[in-house]
Amino acid sequence: MSAREGVAFFAWCKEVDKVDALDAALTALHAPDWTCRVSLRTTATREELERSDVPVGEVIALLRASFTDTSAVEVRIPVKFPSGWGAVLDVECRGARSPAGRYPWDPLVAREHGEEFYRRFLQVAFPSGERSIVTEAAILSILIREEVEDILLRLCAPDDSKRVPTGGATGAFYQWGAPLELGATYNVDGNIARDAALSWLYLHDGDFVGVIGGMSLDALAERVEAAPRGATVGIATTLDRVESHWELDRNADHHPASRGTHFGAIRRVPRQRLPGDVDLTREQVLQTLETPSATLIEALAAAAVPDDEWRAVEPLALEAIAAKERGASTINVEVTSHKHRRFIEHHAPFHVRRLPNGGVLLATHPYRTLWPLWADALDLLGIRPRDSE
C-alpha cells in the first residue's frame, strides 16, 4: 500500500475567484500554530519568492497583493484531521496565463505525498486480544475515507460562497480524470449527473476536466449529444487500470493522429481501451442527464449498501476504534501488506453524503474508484444493466 504516491484533490473555480477560493481553502485547511512554505512566481516580472516558516495569514496577504493571471503559487501547508492525525498538503494554484507546459493547469489542486496519508503503521486496540488483518484494513479504510471527505470539503466548500461547483479526489495522484473513475467527487448543486457528462467528454473527446468543469449542465448535454449515435467509451474498473490509461493518454498526446487540437484536450479521439474496461454509451449518459437529480441520488444511496465481507468486519472495526478512544491498550501494527490492500480494494464501502449547502459528495477509499457504485445505481434505474459487463 505504501507504493501509492499519495492522493490528489481538485477544485474547479472561475479565474476571477481563484484568490478568494485559495484564501478560503488555506484558511480551512491550515493546522493552528503551524507555519507554511510558499513559492510564488509571476511570468514577465522579476518577482520570484521562496519563503519558509510563514504564518498562513501572511501567505494569504501575499497572495492578495501579488497573485495575477500569470502567477503560479504553491503552498506547503500542515493539516490536522478530526481523528488527530496530520498530513502535509501541497496546495497549488496557477493563473490562466501562467505557463502551462504541455497540459493546462487545474484551477486548484492539493496533493498529499506518501505514507503520511496512507499510513504505514496504525495503533489498534483489539478487544478480543487477537490481531485481524481484515479488521485493521477496515479501520484504515474508515479513517482514510473520512479524511478524504474532510480535505475535499475544506478545499471545495470551506464557506457558504458556492464558488466551487465541482471537485474530486483520486489515488491516481496526477490526473483529474473522468469523475466516474475518481475516488470521490463533489457537486455543489447536487446535480451529480455532471460526473457522468464530464467523464464522457474526457473519455470520448479528450477534454481535461480541469478545463471544462465549469460548463453548465445544458452545455455538457449538448456536447454529449453531439457524439455519434451508438458511440461508446471504455470505463476503467480499478485504480491500477486508471493509471495505465493515463500513460496511454500521454502517448496519444504525442502522436499526430490522436493528439488534441484545441486547448485543454489531451487527444481528439476516444481513449484507447484496455482489457477489462466496460462499456458506457452515449445514450446511457444522455439518459443519466435526463434523470431527476433526486432520483439519481436515491439510486446511488441504494447502491451504496456494503458487501457481505464489509458488513461482517465493520462492527469489529468500530468496536476497536471505540476501544482505542476509551483508552484501551493498543498495538502498533504495520498495515501495508498485500492482504490489507486487497481487502480495501475489493470491499471498502461507498458513501453518498447530502450536504447542508445542497451539495452531494460521493466517496470511497482512494484505492478504489466510484465506478462500481455508479454501475449498480445505473442498473437499479434500468439505464445500464449490470449483466452488460
Kindly list the averaged pLDDT for each block of 10 residues, start to end, along the chain of length 389. 71 96 96 93 82 95 93 94 88 87 81 78 88 95 95 96 96 87 97 98 96 96 97 96 91 88 88 96 98 98 98 96 94 94 97 96 97 98 85
For residue 182, how many other CB atoms are within 10 A of its CB?
31
Confidence (pLDDT) at 331: 93
Confidence (pLDDT) at 114: 58
Confidence (pLDDT) at 138: 97
Confidence (pLDDT) at 197: 98
Identify the sign of the CA torsion 73, 74, 80, 83: positive
> Could you tell me if 39 and 49 are in contact, meaning their C-beta atoms sit under 8 angstroms apart?
yes
> Could you tell me if 207 and 342 are in contact, meaning their C-beta atoms sit under 8 angstroms apart?
no
Confidence (pLDDT) at 113: 65
Please give the helix or strand (H or E) that residue 244 lies within, else none: helix 239-253
Q: Tell me the CA distances in angstroms from 126 to 82, 233, 260, 315, 341, one per residue in order.
A: 22, 46, 54, 12, 20
Confidence (pLDDT) at 144: 94
Confidence (pLDDT) at 82: 83
Confidence (pLDDT) at 160: 92
> Could you tell me if 149 and 363 are in contact, meaning their C-beta atoms sit under 8 angstroms apart?
yes
**Closest by Cα among 330, 320, 232, 336 to 284:** 232
Confidence (pLDDT) at 101: 64
Please give the helix or strand (H or E) that residue 373 lies within, else none: helix 371-380
Domain boundaries, the chain: 1-389
Residues paired with residue 234 on neighbouring β-strands, in sequence order: 279
Residue 384 CA to residue 377 CA, distance in Å, equals 9
Looking only at the bridges linking them, the beta strands covering 351-354 and 108-113 are: unpaired
Largest Cα–Cα distance of the chain, in whole Å? 65
Residue 136 CA to residue 120 CA, distance in Å, equals 12
> Could you tell me if 199 and 224 are in contact, meaning their C-beta atoms sit under 8 angstroms apart?
no
Confidence (pLDDT) at 104: 75
- For the CA atoms of 239, 173, 163, 188, the dihedral, rounded to the nearest 10 degrees, stands at 20
